[in-house]
Amino acid sequence: MSETQKFTEEELIQIKDLRDANAQKISEFGQVELELLLTNQRLETLEITKEDLRNQYIALQESERKLVAELNEKYGTGTVDLASGEFVPKIG
């Protein structure tokens, strides 16, 4: 049988330092993965919000088209002075 041997203090420190550095890198990888997960969740939320806003904008454009068509039918073409509320018909 072979006798057991002890590592030197310096060798033990090197082994411990490597073990600690390895554990630190594993922890950092976990933190990066968590940040990526949270970032992807935030991106998904932003995409949903963007799509909702896009649909709302399209609905507003359609409402605007309908109102312009109704007002043109009622008053003819022209411009509106929103400050005074007056309609100025287009000449010509």
Residuewise pLDDT in 10s, the chain (92 residues): 679 999 999 999 999 999 999 999 999 999 999 999 999 999 999 999 999 999 999 999 999 999 999 999 999 999 989 999 898 898 86
Show Cβ contacts of residue 75 under 8 Å, excluding neighbours closer than 6 positions. Answer: 87, 89
pLDDT for 1 equals 64
Looking at the domain assignment, is residue 1 inside a domain?
A: no
Looking at the domain assignment, is residue 40 inside a domain?
A: yes
Show Cβ contacts of residue 90 under 8 Å, excluding neighbours closer than 6 positions. Answer: 76, 77, 78, 79
Looking at the domain assignment, is residue 56 inside a domain?
A: yes
Q: What is the largest CA-CA distance in the chain?
A: 114
Looking at the domain assignment, is residue 3 inside a domain?
A: no
Domain, as residue range, for 26: 9-89
Q: Is the entire prediction scored with pTM above 0.75?
A: no
Looking at the domain assignment, is residue 2 inside a domain?
A: no
Number of domains in the chain: 1
* Backbone phi and psi for residue 41, each to the nearest 5 degrees, phi listed first: -65, -40
